[in-house]
Amino acid sequence: MHLLALNPTDSVTEGFLPAAARLGLAVTLLTDQPEAHERAYARHADLGGQLPATLDVAPCDVRDFREVISRIAAAPDGRRPRAVFTNSDHLQTQAALAAAYFDLPGKDWRVALRTKNKAELRRALAAAGADTIWSTELGTGDDPSALADLDAPFPCVVKPREGVASEDVVLVADAAELVRTCRDIRAHRPDAALVVEEYLHGELRTLETLGDGRTLHVLGAFRTDVSPPPHFIEERLHLLPAPPPQPHTGQVLAQLRALGVGFGACHTEYVVQGDRARLIEVNYRAIGDQCDLVLAELLGIPLFEHILRTHLGEPLPPDLGARTDGRVRMEYVTADRPGRLVAAPAASVTERDGVRLDYRPLREIGEEHPLYRTNRDFLGVLRATGTDQGRIDAAVTEFLAAHRWEIAS
């Protein structure tokens, strides 16, 4: 299997690579950051983590599908690849094109592009009659001053057309603030195309799905709490009781079908407005920030193996046999200022009263960072799991009160 990646992630290190090992796959990991991956996998192995018996990390400009195809075709052993896979938001189209070139199972590259490109996502949904919201696009090189007289339903949200993780996603109150915000984003993203769209009020939820191109399974759904506007930073997620609530789940599935989504994992974010589900974005990969690891644990299924098997051309079972009694709260401890982290708890795992608390630091003591206003501000993540939501919430509250995180300006 050829796996495409940018920076190392927990999803790959703790999820997909151990799954590939259990499936007996030799893995060639193509990345533009090979040294970072080698360090991450060495740490994982030192902690007793599982890795494929054959794991080659190879440098490659993975953002260029032509380079990806060339590297795969020029494999030194000359073996034909069995699968091309990525869990990166940024590399779905490249992986899909490479899989198609080698006649391997994979996502339709047009669907991968359609979901990644937020302007094209809106156009596709409107053309299919699935949902229409007001939106416009500021193309690469276009002057933000062109938006000064925009007749828009303020407040609006501005965001990078191919952005991820709420980075540079900002709520703006009027045209003057819109122009200023676009200029601010362009100052550090000079070539970014931007999308401006109406602000969708309502409770934020996710829908997690897994398909093989024929069968589409609903894995679960989360309710997401985000920081107050103008920024949208995820603060915590709760797994909703199974089955996910209707009619919203059915509406989201219908919109995914209209987009052509149905192969492999997909993480969809939407807002609830009464009986309507309004899509925010479609991430054609597994949910991240350790939620996928927790979901596999709670469902009691080989989730990562299932995802890889779809890319090997194997059908999914009609019934995944997933548990439905698990509950989880993902709590993200987030920096509220720039500076150096001088105090924070160490990693720990405890179990009491039917609740398992797994705390993972995401920033080391002594690290200094600016304030990003994205999930890059996370200092640590607390995974609280069990079967009783009240006990879970009480355990999280107690943990947060008993520990401190201190940043020196």
Is it the case that residue 165 has pLDDT exceeding 90?
A: no
Q: What are phi and psi of 229, to 5 degrees?
A: -60, 155
Q: Which helix (H) or strand (E) holds 160?
A: strand 156-160
- Closest listed residue to residue 197, CA positions, set 314, 118, 100: 118
Is it the case that residue 175 has pLDDT exceeding 80?
A: yes
Asked if residues 267 and 289 have their Cβ atoms less than 8 Å apart, the reply is no
Instruction: List residues bridging with 205 in a β-sheet.
Output: 223, 270
- If DSSP codes are grouped into helix, strand and coil, which group holds residue 34? helix
Report the percentage of the chain scoring pLDDT > 70: 100
State the DSSP code for 353: T
**Separation in Å, CA 212 to CA 123, 262, 317:** 26, 7, 10
At 32, the pLDDT band (50, 70, 90 cuts) reads very high
Is it the case that residue 74 has pLDDT exceeding 80?
A: yes
Distance CA 276, CA 203 (A): 11
pLDDT of amino acid 77: 67
Is it the case that residue 249 has pLDDT exceeding 70?
A: yes
Asked if residues 22 and 50 have their Cβ atoms less than 8 Å apart, the reply is yes
Q: Which helix (H) or strand (E) holds 266?
A: strand 263-273
Task: Write out the two tokens for 222.
Answer: 């989360």
Tens-place pLDDT, residues 360-378? 999 999 999 999 988 899 9
At 312, the pLDDT band (50, 70, 90 cuts) reads very high
Cis omega (within 30 of 0) on the bond before 155?
yes
pLDDT of amino acid 141: 87
Q: What average pLDDT does range 322-334 have in this prediction?
A: 96
Distance CA 390, CA 407 (A): 31
Tell me the domains of the chain and their CATH numbers: 2-104 (3.40.50), 134-198 (3.30.1490.20)
- pLDDT, averaged across the chain: 95
Tens-place pLDDT, residues 104-156? 999 999 999 999 999 999 999 999 999 999 999 999 989 999 999 999 999 99
Sign of the C-alpha dihedral, residues 337, 342, 346, 352? Answer: negative
Give the number of other CB atoms < 10 A from CB of residue 64. 12
- If DSSP codes are grouped into helix, strand and coil, which group holds residue 280? strand
Is it the case that residue 79 has pLDDT exceeding 80?
A: no
- If DSSP codes are grouped into helix, strand and coil, which group holds residue 111? helix
Kindly report which listed range (237-246, 261-270, 313-322) carries the lowest average pLDDT score.
237-246
Task: Write out the two tokens for 254.
Answer: 């219908």
Please report which residue ranges of 85-154 form alpha helices under DSSP H: 92-101, 109-116, 118-127
pLDDT of amino acid 166: 85
Report the percentage of the chain scoring pLDDT > 90: 93
Distance CA 329, CA 239 (A): 7
pLDDT of amino acid 78: 64
**Separation in Å, CA 189 to CA 2, 139, 159, 183, 194:** 30, 13, 11, 9, 10
Give the number of other CB atoms < 10 A from CB of residue 407. 20
Q: Is 391 exposed, middle or buried (CB count within 10 Å of its CB: 0-12, 13-18, 19+)?
A: middle
* Distance between first and last Cα of the chain: 46
pLDDT of amino acid 397: 97
Task: Write out the two tokens for 67.
Answer: 């380079």
